[in-house]
Amino acid sequence: MPAWVDIVILAAVAALAGWGMWHGWRRRARASVAAVPAVPAVPDDLGASRLGPLEATYVSSTTTGDWLDRVAAHDLGNRSAAEVEVHDTGVLLRRRGASDVFVPAERLRTVTTAPGMAGKFMGGERLVVVTWDAGTDRLLDTGLLVRHRAQRPALVAAVQALIPGATA
pTM of the model: 0.78
Q: Would you report the helix, strand and coil content of the chain in percent, each value rounded to 5? A: 30, 35, 35
pLDDT digits (tens, 9 = 90+) for 25-69: 677 667 767 667 778 888 889 989 999 899 999 998 888 888 777
CA distances from 47 to 101, 115, 148, 159 (A): 16, 32, 25, 14
pLDDT digits (tens, 9 = 90+) for 94-106: 999 888 999 999 9
Domains for the chain: give ranges and CATH numbers.
49-162 (2.30.29.30)
CA distances from 87 to 14, 117, 140, 155 (A): 46, 25, 20, 11
